[in-house]
Amino acid sequence: MTAPATTLLQRLQRTDLWSGAHLAVPPVPGLASGFTALDAALPGGGWPRGELTELFPARPGIGEFSLLLPALARLTAEEGWIAVVAPPWPLHAPAWQAAGLPLARLLMVRARGQEAAWACEQLLASGALAALLAWLPQADGRQLRRLQLAASHHPGPAWLFRPADQAGTASPAPLRLALAPAPGGLAVTLLKRRGPPLARPLVLTVQRPAASTRRPSSTPLAAPQATPVY
Amino acid sequence: MLWLALRFPRLAVETWSLPPLAVATQHGRVVALDEAAAAAGVRPGMRLASALGLAPGLAHRERDPARETAALARLACWAGQFTPQVSLAPPDELLLEIGGCLRLFGGGPALLARIQASCAQQGHTHRAGLAPTPLAAQWLARGAASAILPDGLDSAGLAQAIAPLPLAVLALPERATARLATLGARHLGDLLALPRAGLARRFGPELPLALAWALGELPDPRRPFIFPEEFRDGLELPARIEDAARLLFAARRLVAALGGWLAVRCAGIQRCHLVLVHEDQAPSRLELGFASPTRDPQRLQRVLRERLERHALAAPVVGLGLEAPDPSPLPGASIPMFGQGGAARLAPVVERLRARLGAEAIHGLAAVADHRPELASRPTPEPIPLACPPPAGPRPLWLLPAPRALAEERGAPHHGGRLQLLTRAERIESGWWDGGEGPGDARRDYFVATNPRGEWLWVFRDGQGWWLHGLFA
- 3-state secondary structure labels for all residues of B281-333: CCCEEEEEEEEEEECCHHHHHHHHHHHHHHCCCCCCEEEEEEEECCCEECCCC
Percent of all residues in chain B with a pLDDT value above 70, rounded to a whole number:
92
How far, in Å, CA of B62 to CA of B209, rounded?
35
More confident residue, B300 or B382: B300
Between residues B19 and B344, which one has the greater pLDDT?
B19
B36-40, B171-175, B357-361, B386-390: least confidently modelled range = B386-390
Q: Is B338 left (phi over 0), alpha (psi -120 to 50) or beta?
A: left
Say if CB B470 and CB A92 are below 8 A apart: yes
Rg (CA), chain B: 34
Rounded Cα–Cα distance for residues B135 and B170 (Å):
10
Are B20 and B106 contacting, i.e. CB atoms less than 8 angstroms apart? no
Predicted confidence band at B334 (pLDDT cuts at 50, 70, 90)?
Answer: very low
Which among A220, A59, A98 is positioned nearest to B450, based on CA atoms?
Answer: A59
pLDDT score for B150: 67
A223 Cβ under 8 Å from any chain B Cβ = no
Query: CA B169 → CA A112, A121, A194, B188, B203, distances in Å?
Result: 63, 55, 72, 9, 16
Mean pLDDT score, B246-273: 89
Cβ within 8 Å of residue B143, ≥6 positions away: B129, B165, B166, B168, B169
Q: How many residues does chain A have?
A: 230
Asked if the C-beta of A3 comes within 8 angstroms of chain B's C-beta atoms, the answer is no
Region B379-390: mean pLDDT is 74
Is B417 part of the contact surface with chain A (CB cutoff 8 Å)? no
Alpha carbons A152 and A49: distance in angstroms, whole number: 9
Q: What percent of chain A has pLDDT over 90?
A: 49
Across B436-449, average pLDDT: 78
**What is the predicted pLDDT for the residue at A85?**
95
CA distance B304 to B251: 9
Residue B339's pLDDT band (boundaries 50, 70, 90)? very low
Considering the entire predicted model, what is its pTM?
Answer: 0.58
Instruction: Name the pairing type of β-strands B22-26 and B456-462.
Output: unpaired
Alpha-carbon span A78 to A101, nearest angstrom: 14
Q: With 50 as the cut, is the pLDDT of residue A22 above it? A: yes
Contact between residue B261 and residue B77 where contact means Cβ atoms under 8 Å apart: yes
B395 and A94: CB-CB below 8 Å? yes
Among the ranges given (A86-90, A188-192, B343-347, B391-395), the one the predictor scored with the smallest mean pLDDT: B343-347
| Beta strand segments in B330-425, E | 362-367, 377-380, 398-405, 407-409, 412-414, 420-421
Partner-chain contact B366 A103, CB within 8 Å: yes
> How far away is chain A from the Cα of B153, in angstroms, using its nearest Cα?
48
A79, A127, A216: residue with CB nearest B393: A216
Question: Within the 56-115 window of chain A, which residues sit less than 8 Å (CB to CB) from chain B?
Answer: 58-66, 77-81, 87-98, 102-111, 115
Return the pLDDT at A197: 85
Q: Report in angstroms the alpha-carbon separations of B224 from A36, B151, B338.
A: 70, 21, 42
Q: In the 8-state DSSP scheme, what is residue A117?
A: H
pLDDT at A91 over 90: yes
Q: Which residue of A has its CA nearest to B426?
A: A216
The β-bridge partners of B22 are B59
Cα-Cα-Cα-Cα dihedral of B438, B444, B448, B451, to 10°?
-90
CB pairs under 8 A between A and B: 204
The pLDDT value given to residue A17: 65
Residues B408-438 have pLDDT tens digits of 888 889 998 899 998 888 888 877 776 655 6
Q: Give the whole-angstrom CA distance, residue B222 versus residue B136.
A: 13
**CB B454 to CB A92 under 8 A?**
no
Better-predicted residue by pLDDT, B250 or A161: A161
A123 → chain B, closest CA residue: B349
pLDDT digits 0-9 by tens, A49-78: 999 999 999 999 999 999 999 999 888 767
CA distance A145 to A168: 16
pLDDT band of A35, cuts 50, 70, 90: very high
The pLDDT assigned to A222 comes to: 41
**H or E stretch including B25?**
strand B22-26
Q: Dump pLDDT digits (tens) for A156-214.
A: 999 999 999 999 998 999 999 999 998 878 999 999 998 888 888 999 998 888 644 44
Q: How many other CB atoms sit within 10 Å of the CB of residue B154?
A: 10
Return d(Cα A90, Cα A115) in angstroms, integer: 18
- How buried is B272 (Cβ within 10 angstroms: 0-12 exposed, 13-18 middle, 19+ buried)? buried
Q: Give, in order, the Cα–Cα distances in Å from B408 to each of A125, B417, B420.
A: 49, 10, 13
Compute CA distances A225 → A98, A102, A104, A105, B385, whole Å. Answer: 11, 7, 11, 12, 11
Residues in chain B within 8 Å Cβ distance of A93? 365-368, 376-378
Average pLDDT over all residues of chain B: 86
Nearest C-alpha in A relative to B446: A216
